[in-house]
Amino acid sequence: MADIMIQSLLLSFMLLGIHAYFGLEIVRRGIIFTDIAVAQLSAAGLALSLLLFNEPSQLLSLAFALLGSLLVALSQRKREYSEAFIGLLYALGFSSVVLVLSRSPKGMEEFLRLTASDILFVPREEILKTGLLFLAFGVLLYLRRFIKNEVLREIHFFSLFALTVTTSVKLVGVLVVFSMLVAPALVSLIFGRGLIFAWIYGAILNTAGTLTSFWLDLPTGFFLVFIHAFVSALLFLAKVSLRV
C-alpha cells in the first residue's frame, strides 16, 4: 500500500505546485470560482460530444474550457463585476450539461461515470505524464513576463489556467482542485507571504491529509479537501480576530 500512498502524495504535490501559483493570482483578483466555471464548461463540452457523436470527445471538452477562459479573461476589463459574471458561466455550464443530456439516450448515468475521478484512481503513468505537462505549463507561465501586450498576457494566463484545470479536474475532481487552488494561496496572502510559503504550507497539509486518510481509511480526496478547508479557515479566522 505504501506505493499507492506515495503516488497519491506525489500527485497532490504536483497539483499543489502549479495550482498554488495560479491560486495566488486568482485569490488576489477575487475570482476564485474561475476554476469551477471553466471545469463546468469543459463538462458541458463533454456532454455535448456525448449527444452529438455518442462518445466522449476530449477535444470538444477542451475547446469549451478554452472558450470559458477567454470569456473570463475578457471579464477582467470590468473587474469589480467579473466574479458575478464567472458565477453565471458556472450556472450556464451546469444547466447546459443537464439540458444536453436530457436529449441524449443514456442520461446522466453515463456522463457521471465518465467524469468519475478520484486521487486514488490515478495510475503511475498518468502521474508522470501530468507531471511533464505541468512542467511545460510552468515554463510557459514563466515566459509570461516577456509578453508585453496586456490583452495577450491575460489570454495567455487564462488559457494556461484552463488547460491546467481541465487536466487536473479530470484526474482528481473539482473539489480537490478547488482546495489546492484557494487554500494555500489564501493563507499565504493573509500572512503577507508568497509562493514559497504557499508551497510549504500546502505540502504540510497534503502530507498530513494523505497519511491520515490512509491511516483511518477515509476517502483520500475528500479528506484532503476537508483538511485544507478546515485548517485554512481556522488560520484565516485566527488572523482576522487577532487583528480586531
Q: Which residues bind other proteins (CB under 8 A)?
A: 1, 4-5, 54-55, 98, 101-102, 104-113, 116, 118, 120-123, 213-214, 217-220, 222
Nearer to other proteins, 80 or 109 (CB): 109
Nearer to other proteins, 14 or 198 (CB): 14
Nearer to other proteins, 124 or 239 (CB): 124
- Smallest gap from Cβ 159 to other proteins, in A, equals 29
Q: Where are the alpha helices (DSSP H) in 103-144?
A: 108-114, 124-142
- Smallest gap from Cβ 208 to other proteins, in A, equals 15
Nearer to other proteins, 73 or 101 (CB): 101
Closest to 13 measured CA to CA, from 224, 240, 155:
224
Continuous segment of H or E residues that includes residue 90: helix 79-102
Nearer to other proteins, 175 or 200 (CB): 175
Phi, psi of 199 (to 5 degrees): -65, -50
- Smallest gap from Cβ 174 to other proteins, in A, equals 15
Nearer to other proteins, 218 or 235 (CB): 218
Amino acid at 231: V
In Å, what is the CA distance from 103 to each residue of 42, 52, 63, 166? 18, 10, 21, 25
Q: What angle do CA 78, 81, 83 make, to 5 degrees?
A: 115
> Which set of grid coordinates corresponds to residue 98?
443537464
CB atoms within 10 A of CB 138: 15
3-state secondary structure of 218: coil
